[in-house]
């Protein structure tokens, strides 16, 4: 049974984003890497997803396109402790033309995982032997001067009709990641696919145990195939999962789908998966969005969930909210909270409530600092009308940086993607998918308050 708990709509207005706070940006932005810096964008183009960092403060990420073969790259930003600066290094070019992209292509919104030995794990949305994406690993040598790439799972090959999923786009995670544990390279990885699964093509939540020594492919298991339940043409158990998934301390998995749900608006939901020894995990639709007039509670969550120290979850929707019809007919998105038990879902802030969307709209994913301040970015609005970065501290929402263009030239980049990454010094890092100093290649940046 779906758990529907909602506070009165009037309380969603408790958090106000006044013009005074919106007018005073408090952070500085420094560009670390401008993509597409050489002929043919061999260094990569259009970065997307959420960055990760290792114990030495090196940063890793992917681009959707560019590279020597056009299928995107996996890159590292090497940290120099003497200068506190970063140096770009490309680790892998996707879409090997010799193998007809059997190695994968277009890593999209992917969050990588790194293990204790420095091996990187990730997904691509396309390529592989069926064109439906892969899970890969990139293994360094002892000095980390050379990396060996291999595919450890091909989607839509072993099972007919892509029952194992197709087009993984949300990145990977593992049990303990959200509690600060490091990955051992042996335990199961977890992820989602946008498509595949049942006949409804609603996507899959999967686990993948990496291959043991001497084996090339890992062991994949479909934990849940969406669109199992139907009502009036809508997948009431959800469809098309996306964004990062979260595993709590009890091993229960939490995530979002951008479509489906019990509301006829097909606006997506928050779901919970409870482990099962064999067979599918038990799914519970926790909250279906667009349950209020004009979708005031939000619609289409696409970025997954962040979690605080008490186990409460936070996320965003790309549309809906009280700012409806200002940037889209169905609204400009909300920031919401779900209690650790899943019993209460609350809209904390509706974007684009201010004139000309001065508070920003169409938010991306979230990250929390040790004090439970919530940080995120938006794609439109803000005082410069190109989006902004914000901080929610308790009941105070603050615009900390406005993305700006001059005469339609966006040399710093536009369209932040994924969630910001927070390092040990409380500096924020992220990527702009588009524009920048080299045209449309995108940028990697550091944001400091």
Which whole number is the average pLDDT over 396-408? 92
Position 9 scores a pLDDT of 36
Percentage of residues in the chain having pLDDT higher than 90 = 76
Is pLDDT above 90 for 428? Answer: yes
Split at pLDDT 50, 70, 90, the class of 3 is very low
Contact 84, 96 (CB under 8 A): no
Classify residue 1: in a domain, yes or no: no
Between the CA atoms of 335, 224, 261 and 267, what dihedral angle is there, to the nearest 10 degrees?
50
Is pLDDT above 80 for 2? Answer: no
Position 445 scores a pLDDT of 98
Classify residue 3: in a domain, yes or no: no
Residue span of the structural domain in which 360 resides: 9-448
CATH number at residue 67: 2.130.10.10
pLDDT tens for each residue of 206-220: 999 999 988 999 999
Classify residue 4: in a domain, yes or no: no
Q: Round to whole Å and give the CA distance between 281 and 298.
A: 27
Which of helix, strand or coil describes residue 31? strand
Residues 6+ positions from 276 with CB-CB distance below 8 Å:
282
Position 325 scores a pLDDT of 65
Is pLDDT above 90 for 353? Answer: no
Closest CA to 443 of 417, 419, 409, 425: 417
Sign of the CA dihedral with 382 first, then 383, 384, and 385 last: positive
Kindly report the pTM of this predicted structure: 0.93
Split at pLDDT 50, 70, 90, the class of 197 is very high
Q: Round to whole Å and give the CA distance between 185 and 423.
A: 22
Output the CA–CA distances (angstroms, integers) from residue 28 to 25, 421, 428, in the order listed.
8, 16, 10
Q: Where are the beta strands (DSSP E) in 4-67?
A: 28-34, 45-53, 59-65
- Write out the two tokens for 388: 């902004």
- Write out the two tokens for 84: 């506190």
Q: Round to whole Å and give the CA distance between 159 and 19.
A: 55
Is pLDDT above 70 for 296? Answer: yes
Q: Round to whole Å and give the CA distance between 252 and 45.
A: 36
CA 189 to chain CA centroid, nearest Å: 16
pLDDT tens for each residue of 140-196: 999 999 999 999 999 999 888 899 999 999 889 999 999 999 999 999 999 999 999
Is pLDDT above 80 for 255? Answer: yes
Split at pLDDT 50, 70, 90, the class of 19 is very low
Q: Round to whole Å and give the CA distance between 106 and 86.
A: 25
CA 241 to chain CA centroid, nearest Å: 11
Q: Average per-residue pLDDT in the chain? A: 91
Report which of residues 21 and 112 the model is more confident about: 112
- Write out the two tokens for 76: 């590292």
Classify residue 274: in a domain, yes or no: yes
Closest CA to 106 of 152, 154, 167: 167
- Write out the two tokens for 376: 């995120």
Which whole number is the average pLDDT over 305-312? 95
Q: Where are the beta strands (DSSP E) in 54-170?
A: 59-65, 73-80, 85-93, 113-114, 120-124, 134-140, 147-154, 166-168
Split at pLDDT 50, 70, 90, the class of 328 is low
- Write out the two tokens for 271: 């779901």
Q: Round to whole Å and give the CA distance between 122 and 136.
A: 5
Position 6 scores a pLDDT of 41
Classify residue 292: in a domain, yes or no: yes
pLDDT tens for each residue of 44-82: 999 999 999 999 999 999 999 999 999 999 999 999 999
Is pLDDT above 80 for 324? Answer: no
Which helix (H) or strand (E) segment is 37 a member of? Answer: none
Which whole number is the average pLDDT over 258-279? 92
Contact 76, 91 (CB under 8 A): yes
Which whole number is the average pLDDT over 400-425? 93
3-state secondary structure 360-412: CEEEEEEEECCCCCEEEEEEEECCCCECEEEEEECCEEEEEEECCCECCECCC
Contact 156, 162 (CB under 8 A): yes
Q: Round to whole Å and give the CA distance between 359 and 19.
A: 8
Position 25 scores a pLDDT of 64
Which of helix, strand or coil describes residue 211? coil
Classify residue 2: in a domain, yes or no: no
Is pLDDT above 50 for 23? Answer: no
Q: Round to whole Å and give the CA distance between 332 and 368.
A: 22
Position 16 scores a pLDDT of 39
Classify residue 372: in a domain, yes or no: yes
294 φ, ψ to 5°?
A: 55, 25
Position 231 scores a pLDDT of 82
Position 387 scores a pLDDT of 95
Q: Round to whole Å and give the CA distance between 331 and 351.
A: 8
How many structural domains comprise the chain? 1
Residues 6+ positions from 94 with CB-CB distance below 8 Å:
67, 69, 71, 72, 73, 74, 101, 103, 104, 105, 106, 107, 124, 127
Percentage of residues in the chain having pLDDT higher than 70 = 93
Classify residue 259: in a domain, yes or no: yes
Which helix (H) or strand (E) segment is 40 a member of? Answer: none
Position 229 scores a pLDDT of 85
Residues 6+ positions from 69 with CB-CB distance below 8 Å:
93, 94, 95, 96, 97, 101
Is pLDDT above 80 for 323? Answer: no
Position 395 scores a pLDDT of 80
Position 24 scores a pLDDT of 54
Classify burial at 302, counting beta carbons within 10 Å of its beta carbon; exposed 0-12, middle 13-18, buried 19 or more.
buried
Position 158 scores a pLDDT of 85
Contact 51, 59 (CB under 8 A): yes
Q: Round to whole Å and give the CA distance between 231 and 274.
A: 23
pLDDT tens for each residue of 329-350: 778 999 999 999 999 999 999 9
Which whole number is the average pLDDT over 256-279? 93
């Amino acid at each position: 049974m779906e758990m529907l708990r909602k506070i009165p709509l009037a309380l969603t207005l408790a958090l106000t984003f006044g013009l005074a706070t919106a007018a005073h940006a408090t952070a500085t932005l420094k560009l670390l890497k401008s993509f597409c810096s050489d002929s043919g964008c061999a260094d990569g183009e259009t970065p997307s997803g959420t960055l990760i960092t290792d114990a030495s403060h090196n940063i890793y990420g992917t681009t959707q396109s560019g590279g020597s073969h056009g299928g995107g790259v996996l890159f590292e930003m090497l940290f120099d402790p003497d200068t506190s600066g970063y140096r770009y290094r490309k680790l892998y070019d996707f879409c090997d033309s010799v193998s007809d992209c059997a190695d994968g292509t277009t890593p999209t919104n992917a969050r990588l995982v790194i293990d204790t030995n420095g091996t990187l794990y990730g997904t691509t949305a396309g390529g592989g032997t069926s064109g439906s994406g892969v899970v890969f690993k990139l293994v360094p040598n002892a000095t980390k001067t050379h990396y060996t790439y291999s595919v450890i799972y091909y989607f839509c090959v072993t099972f007919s009709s892509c029952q194992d999923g197709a087009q993984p786009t949300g990145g990977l995670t593992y049990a303990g990641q959200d509690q600060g544990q490091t990955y051992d390279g042996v335990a199961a990885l977890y992820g989602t696919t946008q498509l595949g699964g049942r006949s409804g093509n609603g996507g899959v939540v999967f686990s993948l145990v990496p291959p043991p020594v001497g084996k090339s492919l890992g062991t994949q298991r479909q934990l849940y195939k969406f669109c199992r339940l139907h009502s009036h043409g809508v997948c009431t158990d959800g469809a098309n999962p996306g964004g990062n998934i979260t595993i709590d301390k009890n091993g229960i998995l939490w995530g979002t789908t951008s479509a489906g749900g019990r509301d006829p608006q097909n606006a997506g939901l928050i779901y919970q998966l409870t482990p099962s020894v064999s067979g599918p995990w038990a799914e519970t639709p926790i909250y279906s969005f667009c349950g209020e007039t004009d979708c005031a509670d939000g619609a289409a969550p696409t970025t997954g969930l962040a979690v605080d120290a008490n186990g409460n979850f936070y996320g965003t929707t790309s549309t809906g909210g009280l700012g409806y019809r200002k940037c889209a007919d169905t609204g400009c998105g909300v920031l919401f909270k779900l209690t650790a038990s899943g019993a209460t879902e609350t809209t904390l802030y509706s974007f684009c409530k201010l004139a000309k969307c001065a508070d920003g709209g169409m938010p991306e994913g979230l990250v929390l600092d040790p004090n439970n301040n919530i940080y995120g970015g938006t794609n439109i609005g803000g005082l410069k009308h190109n989006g902004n970065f914000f901080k929610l501290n308790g009941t105070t929402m603050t615009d900390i940086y406005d993305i700006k263009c001059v005469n339609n030239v966006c040399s710093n980049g536009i369209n932040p993607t994924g969630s910001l990454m927070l390092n040990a010094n409380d500096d924020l890092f992220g990527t702009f998918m588009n524009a920048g100093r080299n045209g449309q290649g995108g940028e990697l940046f550091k944001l400091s308050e």
